[in-house]
Structure 1
Amino acid sequence: MSFISRRLVLHWCSTLALSFAAPVLAQAAEPVQAGGVSFAPTALVDGRTLMLNGAGVRYKAVFKVYAAGLYLEKKAATAAEVLGHKGAKRLAVTMLRDIDSSELGKLFSRGMEDNLDRSTFSRLVPGVLRMSQIFSEHKMLKAGDTFVIDWLPGTGTLITVKDKPQGAPFREPEFFDALLSIWLGNQPADWQLKDALLGKG
């Protein structure tokens, strides 16, 4: 085979490989839809690019309450893997119906208590009370409103409601894991949502 022929064959192979790879790359970059909410495939958190691990809808009986998406630095298929990641993490939530914010805060507190042993929950009570107060101050979260819970290594847990950071970060390393237990614990708020956040939905 001549030099020119070899170059043509190599060029043809490269073009063919790219033609197969392009649809895969394009598909990977597509937003994920959950309950009519579009979750971007990546999110920039604390200067780091996180990947969408999974997204789904929280149901109460037959009603859609909110859509949630979990972002991590690398994919995780189990709750243990999620908690084991040391990098930045994000849980992004968009309301799908109006709900009393103080009631949501109480539900989150109960969810944490249901998934933690008594001693761990007792240590986190000050943070739990502060979190409940944050949501109570907003009175009402309406359909389309958002809140985000970020874990920032070296900083702590930051809660952002309607694009506004809510005070100083929660410093306790356990606090973010306790919050995640609401959705990923042994008694999650919604089993289907847990599977969806872990990329199984």
Structure 2
Amino acid sequence: MKSLLRQLLLMTAVISAPVTAKNLADVSLADEIALSEQALQLNGAGIRSKFFMDLYVGSLYTQGPSQTLDSVLNSPRVAIRLNIVSGMITSEKMQDAIIDGFDDATDGQSQTIQPQIDAFMALFSAPIAQGDQFTLEAIKDLGVTAYKNGEKQATVEGEAFRKALLKIWLGDKPAQKSLKRAMLGE
């Protein structure tokens, strides 16, 4: 009888346990985030890896499900969040990767948004540590507001810049194809 009662109590505990958010590479991903007093829903997330090493978890937050680049670019507000999971990422490596990303996203024509890229790159001049979180809020016809560990850093204006930044992860030449598919919820 005690054994049956214990099993029933354990089953009740399991059934009533809170459902946890999605977890990737020991990063708990919120189902919803609020930026500029507006809620965005988790669209998808994946792991950016290189040479079999996890570097960061990339997640896309949108106002509604978005499975294509066009739907993301046409959304009034989206956010990309990067959770750093490797101590191997330095500010220099992050800057190099972002410069390469802008070059790919613009088909080598990044000179038209170079002042915005320079302003954005300044956000990555401080040391980067494992556990840091970058959130890039992209607002159509305005630009991108960057947050580091929840603190607002700066807003870089420009629609062409906003589109190019989103294309780093979601464009035709993304940082990693599997990460793009995961962020788009495929």
TM-score > 0.5, shorter chain as reference: yes
Q: Contact 2:119/2:156 (CA < 8 Å) preserved in 1? A: no
Name the CA shift for 1:194/1:39 in 2 (closer, same or farther; >3 Å).
same
> Are 1:145 and 2:132 an aligned pair?
yes
Q: Contact 1:106/1:132 (CA < 8 Å) preserved in 2? A: no
In structure 2, distance between residues paired with 1:171 and 1:103:
24
Q: Which runs of 4+ in 1 moved over 4 A?
A: none
Listed as ranges, the matches of 1:5-20 within 5 Å are: none
Q: Describe the superposition over 1:89-124 as per-residue Cα deviations: whole angstroms up to 9, x where unpaired.
A: 1111110112211220121111111121344x2111
Q: Contact 1:102/1:133 (CA < 8 Å) preserved in 2? A: no
SS at 1:124's partner residue?
A: helix
In structure 2, distance between residues paired with 1:115 and 1:170:
17
Listed as ranges, the matches of 1:1-201 within 5 Å are: 30-85=20-75, 87-98=76-87, 99-119=89-109, 121-136=110-125, 138=126, 140-153=127-140, 155-167=142-154, 169-200=155-186
In structure 2, distance between residues paired with 1:93 and 1:32:
15
Please tell me the residue identity of whatever aligns with 1:170: V
Q: Percent identity?
A: 27
Please tell me the residue identity of whatever aligns with 1:125: Q
Q: Shift in Å at residue 154 of structure 1?
A: 6.2
Partner residue of 1:17?
Answer: none
Q: Normalising by structure 1, what TM-score?
A: 0.77
In structure 2, distance between residues paired with 1:170 and 1:59:
27
SS at 2:172's partner residue?
A: coil
Unaligned runs of 5+ in 1: 1-22
In structure 2, distance between residues paired with 1:30 and 1:123:
44
Judge which range, 55-64 or 110-119, deviates more. Answer: 110-119
Q: Contact 2:32/2:42 (CA < 8 Å) preserved in 1? A: yes
In structure 2, distance between residues paired with 1:154 and 1:46:
15
Please tell me the residue identity of whatever aligns with 1:186: D
Unaligned runs of 5+ in 2: 1-14
Alignment length, in residue pairs? Answer: 169
Structure showing greater Rg: 1
Taking only aligned residues, the RMSD between alpha carbons, in angstroms, comes to 2.0
In structure 1, distance between residues paired with 2:68 and 2:142:
25
